[in-house]
Chain A
Amino acid sequence: MSDVTASHRWKIEKGLSGDFIFKAVTVLFAFSILVILMLMLYEMVSQSLPSLRKFGGHFMTGMDWDAVQEQFGALPFIYGSVISSVLALLLATPLAVGTALFITEIAPRRLGGFAASLVELLAAIPSVIYGLWGILIMTPWLQQTAQPLLQKYLGFLPFFQGPAYGVSMLAGVLILMIMVVPIITSITKEVLLAVPRSQREAAIALGATRWEMIRMAVLPYGKSGILGAVILGLGRAIGETMAVTMVIGNNPKISLSLFSPAYTMPSVIANEFAEASSPLHSAALMNIGLLLLVITLIINALARLLLWSMSRGAARGAKL
């Protein structure tokens, strides 16, 4: 009798302590993420201090980047990053959503699966490979074929003026577009697959054609998910370093023309950090890193806000 009681008690104690250890370990892990983030932020702020002290808010509006004169302004890099990412997304989104629609709605199942795995393969290619392709194949093509054509027919627009070097904002935009299409496509594909059959059937039973079904039932249902996919693509585009550095021309000038070389925030950090000799120069680069982090956080926060307001609308509907 006493034997049974003892073993029973032993089990209870064992269970409790196992739970306690599990909880403690997971809390520790979860907390460590926060600590790492805080440490990173602290380190970046403290390393940027010389630049923050010297330039303050002017750092973000300054146009000069001169290591010899120790004049540092980040605006050309901010401009280059934001414009190249946003334009890349504008081009990539219709392409990616169209591809995802083809995979999920139009293609026969086997062809769709094949196309989907190709897209996933594209997402797995290292960015330096994209960069190599860009510099060896795309930029010569831009210089010799695409840019002269654009200049001939659309040259009256300020976006397509100036000499064609090949390496340019345009090249950066195109390489980024190619790189974000796979990620947007594969997430959009999952979003579209998650649209319930009942929604599709509702549209079909009303006498909708396939396209009308997509427009009426599939896209509106997947709207917030597709938006999430686009935001993730934006996150990837704005942080992309290697491939962009290889084709964008790396010239810190702000120009309306897509033909002129530009520079992005990650690119300047990658290019100059190793050879930054003066403390102010490395502080300025660190400051750009800090800005990049802040911009990324703002984009993420805006995306969350957008998704939250959209899903709140739906949840409010479901509750009442």
Chain B
Amino acid sequence: MNSKVKLDDLNVHFGGTHAVKGVNIDFPANSVTAIIGPSGCGKSTVLRAVNRMHDMTPGAQVTGRILLDDTDIYGRGVDPVAIRRKIGMVFQKPNPFPAMSIYDNVIAGYKLNGRMRRDEADEIVESSLQRVALWDEVKDRLKSNAMELSGGQQQRLCIARTIAVRPEVILMDEPASALDPISTMKIEELIEELKERYTIIIVTHNMQQAARVSDVTAFFYLGELIECGVTKKIFTTPDRKQTEDYITGRFG
């Protein structure tokens, strides 16, 4: 598989803390890569480095390279805003904009491109909601407030909002950890469908989830990448002792 995103000796420091230590990974295109590991192992930090979210954190310092196709996103003259349009992100807690309707939430990011025609917006909203399987549930109340949706629906709305921008890569930071089992299942089905068009990197605490949805799994411990490989192999015959201990529940 050809790689879509490539981390090349990635290091992240917060003040004096070395949170991510010399990580190299290839994230293959049109597949799901799961990042697993115990709390505080740096998995979210790695994820947030990929769309330059750390730019917003005072004191955070990212070194090394992250290649999107062949562009170093931390390279000179690269606009982080343009990068984030290509690399979308879904967060742990659903975070729709509470002052906006369902419709306006979906179109919020796309609208930043500038003026658009009404029918163009309608089309984007419908296709994005279709793709996250939310259209049938909300098509009669697109103008009502996004906070009226359930938690699971809100999270699918956030995914719709992300894909409406037409990114190439979608980062997901424990997207189902705040949801009930049925909503979680729907999100997982959705991830499976989304990988046809997008490259997905998902951070998860839930090892069953990683085993179910991902093609490749990367295991992190204390800021280091311990092992990365095909999911089936990681969960059956890992190379490293630490990986085996973690997936069998002996620590973490």
Contacts and interface: CB of A to CB of B under 8 A. Distances in A.
A56 interface: no
A239 to B, nearest CB: 32
Given A205-B88, A320-B148, A200 B56 contact: yes
B91 A207 contact: no
B112 interface: yes
A199 B109 contact: no
Given A207-B84, A207-B85, A317-B146, 20 more contacts: A198-B93, A202-B91, A202-B95, A202-B97, A202-B161, A205-B53, A205-B88, A205-B89, A206-B84, A206-B85, A206-B88, A207-B81, A209-B81, A217-B97, A220-B97, A220-B99, A221-B97, A221-B98, A221-B99, A320-B148
Interface string A205-238: 1111100100011001101000000000000000
A202 B51 CA distance: 12
Nearest to B93: A198
Contact of A205 (B100, B147, B148, B162): B162
Range of interface residues on chain B?
Answer: 20 to 34
A208 B91 CA distance: 16
Chain A contact-residue range equals 20 to 34
Contact of A317 (B53, B95, B147): B147
A313 interface: yes
Interface of B: 51, 53, 56, 58, 81-82, 84-85, 88-89, 91, 93, 95-100, 108-109, 112, 145-148, 158, 161-162, 165
B177 to A, nearest CB: 14
Given A206-B88, A207-B81, A220 B100 contact: yes
Contacts of A199: 95, 97
A198 B98 contact: no
Nearest to B100: A220
B108 A206 contact: yes
Interface in A185-213: 196, 198-209, 212
B58 A109 contact: yes
Contact of B98 (A200, A204, A209, A314): A314
Nearest to A204: B56
A205 B147 CA distance: 20
A221 B95 CA distance: 12
6 contacts: A201-B95, A206-B88, A207-B112, A220-B97, A317-B148, A320-B148
Given A198-B93, A201-B53, A320-B148, A208 B112 contact: yes
A202 B90 CA distance: 8
Nearest to A315: B147
A320 B144 CA distance: 11
A316 B81 CA distance: 34
A202 B162 CA distance: 9
A204 B53 contact: yes
